[in-house]
Amino acid sequence: MQLLIEQLLNGLQLSLTLFLLAAGLTLVFGIMGVINLAHGSLYMLGAYAGALAAARFGSFWLALPAALLAAGLIGAAMELLVVRRLYARDHLSQVLATFGLILFFNGTIAWGVGLAPLQMDTPDLLSGFVQIAPGLPYPTYRLAVMAVGGAVALGLWYVIARTKLGMLIRAGSDKREMVSALGVDIAGLFTLVFGLGALLAGLAGVMVGPIRSVQIGMGEQVLITTFVVIVVGGVGSIRGAFVGALLIGMADTLSRAFAPMLLKLWLAGALADGLGAALSSIMIYLVMAVVLVVRPRGLFPAED
């Protein structure tokens, strides 16, 4: 029972991290029609900026703004220099161009920082445990990550559903030409949304820093999982991104924790471990396949 609660919380934390990434990616695609493979790089760059700042200044509270600043600025620069030229292009060019960006960012980090993974310390304030149930201590830091993720999700919902900016974003994703014809500065809106998505990716990256090691390739791994989230939820839909992130985050965490254990009820130990490891590493793709069979455009397809 305690294990189940702990794993549910871990799953929730992964889900909220995935949502931070999926929200940016799905907004960028929904509004600008650009598939951005380098979204994972922004996550990685956020984590690296955070880890380097933490090592330099010895404080997580300086690492956090450093990561946000780095990811946001690099994201905005990316939009102005590269992504802007891709709006009118086909998906093939977009994939190729952003693939080139990934190579560039990975190479730059390998060159400037090195291939060895970086470690980031949990901030002192959040380094303890909280007794969430009798006999079940849970790391404070992970709870804080969940709180931030949840707050950002709420904030994002508020911005999109209730503010003028959100209205423009929703209108822009539905009828881009119409919004532009009404005199809205579409170019500015695009840069803003892209920068916002980059900021969220950087936030996800720096928050994950103290939980996992910061290394090259972390961006692509999470990018592909984020793709699964978006495909499950429906491309372009924030609500879809949220539901998809919950589904995929939970499926991944719970299958990793329990698949070998459940298989042991029927199979021999070593076989169950091996099969369980294989099954849990492909679980999210199986979920995606099932959703595709039932609803090819995801659970909450954006209106077209």
Partner 1 sequence: MGLNRQTLAGLIVIACLMAVPFAAPLLGGNYVVTLATRVVILAIAASSLDLLLGRGGLVSFGHAAYFGLGGYVVGIAGFHLANDVPIFGWAGSNEALVVWPLAMLVSGFAALIIGALSLRTAGVYFIMITLAFAQMIYFVFVALKYYGGDDGLSLSARNLFAGERVTNPATFYWISLGALGLCLLVQWRLVASRFGMALRGAASSERRMAALGFSVYGYRLAAFVIAGMMAGLAGALWANLNRFVSPDMMGWVRSGQFMVMVIMGGVSSLFGPIIGAAAFLLIEIALSGRTEHWQVIFGPFVLLVALFAPRGIWGLIRAKGEP
User: Least distance to partner 1 from the beta carbon of 173, Å?
Assistant: 13
Burial class of 58 by CB neighbour count within 10 A (0 to 12, 13 to 18, 19+) = exposed
Closest-CA residue to 50 (of 218, 249, 242, 225): 218
Report helix, strand or coil for 177. helix
Query: Candidates 102-110, 122-130, 150-158, 197-205 — which segment interacts with partner 1 by CB under 8 A?
Result: 102-110
Q: Does 66 bind partner 1 (CB under 8 A)?
A: no
Q: Does 227 help bind partner 1 (rule: CB under 8 A)?
A: yes
Q: Can residue 43 be called a binding residue for partner 1 (CB under 8 A)?
A: no
Of the two residues 230 and 263, which places its CB atom closer to partner 1 in the complex? 230
Single-letter residue type at 87: Y
The C-alpha atoms of residue 284 and residue 10 are separated, in whole angstroms, by 16
C-alpha to C-alpha distance for 241 and 255, rounded to whole angstroms: 21
**Is residue 120 near partner 1 by the rule CB under 8 A?**
no
Binding segment for partner 1 among 47-55, 148-156, 177-185, 293-301 (CB under 8 A)?
293-301
Q: Does 162 bind partner 1 (CB under 8 A)?
A: no
Site string for partner 1, 232-261 (x = CB under 8 A): ---x--------------------------
CA atoms of 226 and 211, how far apart (whole Å) = 18
Cβ atoms 197, 83 nearer than 8 A? no
Interaction of residue 71 with partner 1, rule CB under 8 A: no
Residue 101 found at the interface with partner 1 (CB under 8 A): yes
Residue 278 is a binding residue for partner 1 (CB under 8 A)? yes
- How far apart CA 100 and CA 218 sit, in angstroms, is 17
Residue type, 43: Y
Q: d(Cα 241, Cα 249) in Å, to the nearest integer?
A: 12
Binding site for partner 1 (CB under 8 A): 29, 35, 82, 85-86, 89, 91-97, 99-108, 110-111, 220, 224, 227-228, 230-231, 235, 274, 277-278, 281-282, 285, 288-289, 292-293, 296-298
